[in-house]
Amino acid sequence: MQRKGKRAAVLMSGGVDSSTAAALLKKQGFDVIGVTLQLWDYDSTNHRPQGKRGCCDISHQMDAMHVCDVLGIHHVVLDHRKQFNLEVVEPYGQSYLSGETPNPCVLCNSKIKWGSVLPKIDALECDYLATGHYAKIVRGKYGIRLEKSIDLTKDQSYALWQIPHQTLERTLLPLGNWEKKKIREVAHQHGFRNAGKPDSQEVCFIDDHYGEFLRDTRHDMVEAIGNGEIIDENDKVVGAHDGFFRFTVGQRKGLNIGDGKGPYYVVGLKPETNQVVVGDLNAVKRSGCVIREINWISFDAPAKPEPCNVKIRYNDPGVPGTIFPEENGSLTIRFNQPRAAVTPGQSAVWYRGKAVWGGGIISMGIKSEV
């Protein structure tokens, strides 16, 4: 625990997790300020998540304000719509149209919360930036590292791999040692009106399918792409689609192939020819992957191949593998057993025990010989 009297800016979305994070830090003796980010202008778009799935509209700001009022702390709203559009929304659309599957939450964490926001808390004279993520910052004689939450069903360390190592010194993650059910109990004890509020959806700025978002926001590009073919690995046409960008590697549903030979899975995308490649389950398996945009968050890069545990998607429990550092600074990962749906554009995160060793973006899967 840090020394009492320090000031912490808590990013408060209006949800129960960030609200309780603020309460816990205040109880620990921190001077807490609630900070809500305005990231998306719902009034200027057709893509407004229904109910309470979004994270930036006035109802969520009011929930955060209510919590700050109950706790007796200051509340401010920071407008980061321009940065969010530039750093998250634009790359999100471009990734799909390039044949990859993005993870906007990773970008939002690194580019916005620990990127453009962190310098601004200096103006609030804050020592720390805190969030309601389920992960841990561990400080010890061997340095500082990011670790998994004790509640592995809610662990969010996977989504934090891109945060620069040097920002960990100014980061507080007070929920890392708590289970979600206990957090709701604390929220109820404080009388927070959002104590029973459902968890937000992963992508806060779209409603329904991302394909419709792309059609509205990049209409000319999508219209130019048009309809295309679904082919097998022998280039035989087995179906049709209305845009390769509507599919992701490993996808099974929505292919509408009626030849009776399925089930089919998406094996790859060909943006240059607007084709979707499909195959059976073995065809979608990969023995490893090539990684780009690497960040070593808790430990340095190894000088030789090293064993680790690897996650290739958010809800992935992780599997044993080996990381192979390359001379050009890239990285190759080999899994101990072939894995299905190794998806370009998604994050691969490797762990040393409980600690996040590092992470990067999957450029391509290495085809399995199995």
Catalytic center residues: 108, 204
DSSP tag of 157? G
In whole angstroms, what is the distance from residue 68 CA to residue 72 CA? 6
Burial of 30 (0-12, 13-18, 19+ CB in 10 A): buried
HSE at residue 248, side-chain half, CA atoms within 13 A, is 17
Contacts of 82 by beta carbon, 8 Å cutoff, 6+ apart: none
C-alpha distances in angstroms, 84 versus 47, 204, 214? Answer: 15, 12, 17
CA distance 364 to 332: 10
Spatial distance between the Cα atoms of 340 and 22, rounded to a whole number of angstroms: 40
DSSP letter for each residue of 68-107: HHHHT-EEEEEE-HHHHIIIIIHHHHHHHHTT----HHHH
- The tokens for 175 are 């929920």
Buried b (16+ CB within 10 A) or exposed e, 249-279: bbbeeebeeeeeeeebbbbbbeeeebbbbbb
Question: Which residue matches tokens 């934090």?
Answer: 160
Tokens of 312: 């290739």
